[in-house]
Chain A
Amino acid sequence: MPHLTDLLETAYVIMMMVRLLLAYWPSVTLVILAALAPPLLPAQYQKFEGQQILTIQFDPKEQPLDPAALHDILPLKLNQPLRIGDVRSSIERLFATGRYADIQVDAQPYGTGVMIRFITRSSWFVGSLSIGGRVSSPPNGGQLENATRLDLGQPYTETSLRGAVSGMQRLLEGNGFFLSQVRPVFDYETDRSHQQVNIRFDLTEGLRARFTAPVTIGDTKVDANQILSATKFRRWIIHTWKPMTQARVRQGLDGVRSLYRSENRLEAKVSLDSMKYEPATNSAIPTLRIDAGPRIEVHTIGAKVSQKKLQRYIPIFEEHAVDHDLLVEGARNLQDSLQSGGYFDAQVAFKEQRVTNDRASIDYLVNTGLRHKLVAIRIAGNRYFQTEVLRERMYLQPASFLQFPHGRYSENLLRNDEESIVNLYQSNGFRDVKVTHRVQDDYGGKTDNIAVFLTVEEGPQYFVDNLQIDGIEKLDKADTLGRLSSVAGQPFSEYNVAVDRDAILAQYFVKGFPNATFQWSWKAAARANRVDLHFVVNEGKQQFVRQVLASGLKFTRPSLVDRNFELNPGDPLSPTAVTDTQRRLYGLGVFARVNAAIQDPEGETDSKYVLYEVDEARRYSLATGFGAELGRIGGCQTCFDAPAGATGFSPRVSVDFTRSNLWGLAHSISLRTRASTIDQRALLNYSWPRFDGRDDLGVSFTALFENSRDVRTFDFRREEVSAQLSQKLSKATTLFYRYAWRYVNINNLKVSLFLVPQLSQPVRVGIASINLVQDRRDDPVEPHKGIYTTVDLGLAERFLGSQPNFMRFLVRNATYYPIGRRVVLARSTQFGNIYSFHNAGDPDVAVPLPERFFGGGATSHRGFPEEQAGPRDTSTGFPLGGNALLFNQTELRFPLIGENLGGVLYHDAGNVYTNLGSISFRVRQHDRPTGPTSPNPEDFNYMVHSVGFGIRYRTPVGPLRVDLGYSINPPYFFGFKGTQQDLVNAGRTPCQPPAGVANQCSVQNVSHFQYFFSIGQTF
């Protein structure tokens, strides 16, 4: 138990402590307050102002910028006096890099100087976006991602996230998901330096609301039921409400607008005022704001113009508004339309009447004038450019049969043509050029024929006397100069300067100078018509690649993507290389979408991250197709009638299945099947693009099964495997190295019986071939100029696993020559030979039937039905194919009506021949059979000629083609009208049968008239 004195002592000590504390409290409080309160900045920085900076630290130590970059950026330097201005600049510079969200700088005494510490918080950038949860389309994933308005590589901020969520919410509500919820889930890539955050938006969409009857506000002037019906919000007959989607809302509004338009209420305003959600019934109640406006009728006075044309030319119908500008535009359009129809003097004005009794009318007063025909365009005064060069740039066209029966002329077109000519001259240095025109009526003494006379006053041509370029420091100036048009001695024009500016800036962009600028000026030189040019380039700062990153890979191997990057860390940041890489990634064929971006392009750093966000395409695809063939492909399958083919129809179905991106390496395997009444085939293909990592190489392996009777002489079943290596030598030239092994079985031969044992043998062919394709056409679908050549050389030999030995050579060359702007002369020549060797017996017969050349038809010779050219069986008349071929086709392709309908005049010549030695240009068939006593065998080794006319209708997939041909000298031959048994009974020479057997041979011929339907030009 403690003593009292002890207690008192203790109490005294405590009291003293309390007293001391109390005594010091005010000063302690002041100190604490002073320490804790945020005092005014000057007091803080003035304390350190001028002190020597002994150390600079960063918190956290790991910074988004490299230490070297930090050192370069910061104005604050070690062992320098501290200045608040430098601190401020340091913060500004660091923040301007875009890599920081917050920066504070503190200072504290450190030895004899001061320690500076940057306390930083890094910013984040948008990485890949994805949608989680079940999404009922619409909206689809792409629409939802677009609604976020978050772009790859852009700074991620709270504001942008709020915008993204509300954007998605709006889209979902617009599609009837009023109870949907959007929850962002973040994946901060904290272990990597590029500060990227990937965001997944988890959706809970709830039930889609259904429409109910719309509420209308405003002056509707129409019955509510009519409006409801126009919206189509309710199903027909069963009268249930449709689920709400944005598209249906839009269609509903368009439907109501159409309703008003059908009542001539052209000014009707229809808009969605609001969409109210009724949770109890899960329904959406649209409120439509409608202002019907008066009925407006549009009439023409002075000429009859159909309502359809009025709606096409007068924009008030499309704009749902009537104002002076639109009416003027309508008058101008009508006038142009009339002028293009030959009413070159047509005048159109309009008169608008005020609204009375809910009606108004607009009258277009049309004075067509006389109908003219533009028969001549004459250009004079042009010395620098030939008249043809000027005419190529003109819209005016003299009258021509079918296409422009009255010519093409209007005042606007004439004005445009004058401007085109002026621009052409000015861009070639004729700064003072003038073009004037004169229109002469009753030209050539013929009433209403007009001619346009254009006079060109060229004036002097200006040339560059001297070009001075300043500011090119980091590019090769000589190389740049070599690319310019406006160099000394060349014509001076603003157009050329613009071309030069683009060339210079493009060079800079490629080298990573995105902020390069170009200015120019000129002054008159000492010599007349000469100018001195001055180009000034401001290069700006060069930017480099810090790293290239790809995101979104699920199945694709990163190494495959990396191999396709055209940019590496440290390279100049070239936008061209960025898009080239994007194109290469698309070219792999495994990505449905490749987004490319530079992370934070506004950030002021010298090195940037280049980002690629990919969306992998579906790996499995199934395609089905239906079609039909119509042509001379018909005839009895088992009998001998119609050896030259009868009109037939063959429906066709195809099913293709593809599995792409095998092993994540962009390999693919596909099975393509096709079945028709004349052909069934299945093709299994394994494709390995960019073989061995090389862009120019590709490998494929193929297995084929085919059962066909497309050559009418026989049916065959082919089983084939092949391997192919393709090598792209240049943009235009590709080589294919191929080995194929096939086993072909022949059935239902329709030939002389003595040939059956030889020709019906199953045959095994192993053939190695090399194929060169050179395509220098301007447009592969519809070429206007250029050359297309293919050369194919193959060798079938025992060591390649082949039973027959032969060499096969086939070359095709086509050229295209433009004549004027829209006429093309095209020609194609095809030559081939099969040389049989090391075979017993007749070398011409030694080549198996399916390996021979068959020809004729839509793409080789339109004097024959498909595969009907060349030698024929002397008994049955069916084609036997040949070992040589020569075809030549010539076409004149020209426009017919409008832009899409064209015509073709053609001449095809050639044939399939027995062998190389029998190729002949002879036009008459020797020993042409005329009756039973005619010589046999017949002659087929002559040149068949065919002429014809075709129509082409341009479509996105190539022109639709109809050709009607007349064969001048088709082959005549003996056909056999009997059955297989009759042929057996007729013996070895069916056309000279044994006594007692009826002669069933008859002279037949390939029809003089042939027709073809297909897609694509002939060659």
Chain B
Amino acid sequence: MIGATLWAWTLTRADIIDRIAVSVGNRVITESDLDREIRVIAFLDRAKGKPDFSPAGKRAAAERMVEQKLIRRELETSRYPVPAASEVEPVIEKFKKDSFPGDAEYRRALADAGITEQDLKDELFWQRTLLLFIGVRFRPGIQVTAQEIRDYFDKVVQPAAQAARPGQTVELEDYHDQIEQKISGERVDQAVDTWLKEARRRTEVVFHEEVFQ
């Protein structure tokens, strides 16, 4: 009888269906946002296994989403261009083709993962938006001089190439574009990192710890 009473209580009690997990300025990440993010990321990277709902997994996802919020706010306030929504369609199609034998399997996998196709589209759209933002906001300010390319070639590429293929001559011209891309890529990463740190310093970010237990 006690068990029945408890079962009845569990059925009729109020359940928390959503709440604030993190506030970023006057924007929030809710617990359901966090849940969806973990599921979508796990779905996209299914090789790594099931979604990680552990406290550490949740916090890692929350940290990612805080950065997203900061960038989204910058996109809104500074009116940076965003990609067209239609750009996601071919990416989804490719993902489906590469990962599932057919549409039915794809739909079943989405249902099993507890997400919708729109959730997946939103994630992929965000990834494209982020790339465009970085390209527009940070890449134009990055300069790589010829001397820096030469130095990198002398210090890194040439010794590695000679170690790999002793006796063969290595020309800078063969690696010039790759080195330039690598150096500028690293600098863009640094610039993004610095900007994110500064944006976060200027923004009140509050983690609601009860969500991460």
Which A positions have Cβ atoms within 8 angstroms of B? 24, 27-28, 31-32, 34-35, 38, 40-42, 44-45, 47-48, 84, 87-88, 91-92, 95-96, 98, 102-109, 115, 117, 155, 157, 159-160, 602-604
Q: Given known contacts A102-B20, A103-B20, what 19 new A-B pairs fall within 8 Å (CB)?
A: A24-B2, A24-B3, A28-B3, A31-B7, A41-B18, A84-B17, A88-B18, A92-B30, A95-B28, A96-B27, A98-B26, A105-B18, A106-B15, A106-B16, A107-B14, A107-B15, A108-B12, A109-B11, A117-B14
Say yes or no for B182: interface residue by CB 8 A criterion. no
| Chain B residues whose C-beta falls within 8 Å of the C-beta of A24 in the assembled complex | 2-3
Among B6, B11, B17, B26, which residue has its beta carbon within 8 angstroms of that of A28? B6
Asked if residues B28 and A91 are in contact (CB atoms below 8 Å), the reply is: yes
Q: Which residue of A lies closest to B11 (CB)?
A: A109
Asked if residues A45 and B204 are in contact (CB atoms below 8 Å), the reply is: no
Asked if residues A96 and B17 are in contact (CB atoms below 8 Å), the reply is: no
Stretch at the interface among B31-39, B136-144, B161-169, B187-195: B31-39
CA distance A102 to B3 in the complex (A): 34
Asked if residues B7 and A87 are in contact (CB atoms below 8 Å), the reply is: no
Say yes or no for B23: interface residue by CB 8 A criterion. yes
C-beta contact mask, B178-213 vs A, less than 8 Å → 1, else 0? Answer: 000000000000000000000000001010100001
Asked if residues B16 and A44 are in contact (CB atoms below 8 Å), the reply is: yes
Asked if residues A95 and B26 are in contact (CB atoms below 8 Å), the reply is: yes
| Chain A residues whose C-beta falls within 8 Å of the C-beta of B28 in the assembled complex | 91-92, 95-96, 103
CA distance A107 to B12 in the complex (A): 10
Q: List 29 A-B contacts (CB under 8 A).
A: A27-B3, A31-B6, A35-B6, A40-B35, A41-B31, A41-B35, A42-B35, A48-B17, A84-B17, A84-B18, A91-B30, A92-B30, A95-B20, A95-B26, A96-B27, A96-B28, A98-B26, A102-B20, A105-B16, A105-B17, A105-B18, A106-B14, A107-B14, A108-B13, A109-B11, A157-B206, A159-B204, A602-B25, A604-B26
Which B positions have Cβ atoms within 8 angstroms of A? 2-3, 6-7, 9-20, 23, 25-28, 30-33, 35, 53, 114, 204, 206, 208, 213
Asked if residues B32 and A87 are in contact (CB atoms below 8 Å), the reply is: yes
CA distance A115 to B14 in the complex (A): 9
| Chain B residues whose C-beta falls within 8 Å of the C-beta of A107 in the assembled complex | 14-15, 17
Asked if residues B3 and A31 are in contact (CB atoms below 8 Å), the reply is: yes
Shortest CB-to-CB span from A606 to chain B, Å, is: 15
Asked if residues A40 and B17 are in contact (CB atoms below 8 Å), the reply is: no
Q: Among B19, B25, B30, which residue has the most Cβ atoms of chain A within 10 A?
A: B30
In the complex where A34-B10, A159-B204 touch, is A87 in contact with B35 (Cβ < 8 A)?
Answer: no
CA distance A594 to B51 in the complex (A): 56
| Chain A residues whose C-beta falls within 8 Å of the C-beta of B19 in the assembled complex | 91, 102-105
| Chain A residues whose C-beta falls within 8 Å of the C-beta of B18 in the assembled complex | 41, 45, 84, 87-88, 91, 104-105
Asked if residues B32 and A88 are in contact (CB atoms below 8 Å), the reply is: yes
CA distance A383 to B135 in the complex (A): 50
CA distance A881 to B17 in the complex (A): 96
In the complex where A31-B10, A91-B30, A92-B30 touch, is A106 in contact with B17 (Cβ < 8 A)?
Answer: yes
Asked if residues A157 and B27 are in contact (CB atoms below 8 Å), the reply is: no
A-B pairs with beta carbons under 8 A, tally = 100
Q: Which residue of B lies closest to A92 (CB)?
A: B28
Asked if residues A32 and B6 are in contact (CB atoms below 8 Å), the reply is: yes
Asked if residues B27 and A92 are in contact (CB atoms below 8 Å), the reply is: yes
Shortest CB-to-CB span from B196 to chain A, Å, is: 18
| Chain A residues whose C-beta falls within 8 Å of the C-beta of B213 in the assembled complex | 38
Q: Among A98, A104, A106, which residue has the most Cβ atoms of chain B within 10 A?
A: A104
Among A34, A104, A108, A157, which residue has its beta carbon within 8 angstroms of that of B204? A157
Q: Which residue of A lies closest to B1 (CB)?
A: A24
CA distance A155 to B26 in the complex (A): 10
| Chain B residues whose C-beta falls within 8 Å of the C-beta of A38 in the assembled complex | 213
CA distance A159 to B32 in the complex (A): 26
Among A40, A48, A88, A109, which residue has its beta carbon within 8 angstroms of that of B12? A109
| Chain A residues whose C-beta falls within 8 Å of the C-beta of B20 in the assembled complex | 91, 95, 102-104
Asked if residues B204 and A40 are in contact (CB atoms below 8 Å), the reply is: no
CA distance A157 to B16 in the complex (A): 25
CA distance A962 to B61 in the complex (A): 79
The 4 closest A-B pairs by CB, nearest first: A104-B19, A108-B14, A31-B6, A106-B14
CA distance A84 to B7 in the complex (A): 25
CA distance A92 to B11 in the complex (A): 28
CA distance A107 to B27 in the complex (A): 23
In the complex where A95-B23, A155-B204 touch, is A41 in contact with B6 (Cβ < 8 A)?
Answer: no
| Chain A residues whose C-beta falls within 8 Å of the C-beta of B2 in the assembled complex | 24, 28
Q: Among B3, B15, B206, which residue has the most Cβ atoms of chain A within 10 A?
A: B15
CA distance A47 to B35 in the complex (A): 16
CA distance A107 to B204 in the complex (A): 29
| Chain A residues whose C-beta falls within 8 Å of the C-beta of B25 in the assembled complex | 602
Q: Which residue of A lies closest to B17 (CB)?
A: A45
| Chain B residues whose C-beta falls within 8 Å of the C-beta of A44 in the assembled complex | 15-17
In the complex where A40-B53, A102-B20, A102-B208 touch, is A108 in contact with B15 (Cβ < 8 A)?
Answer: yes
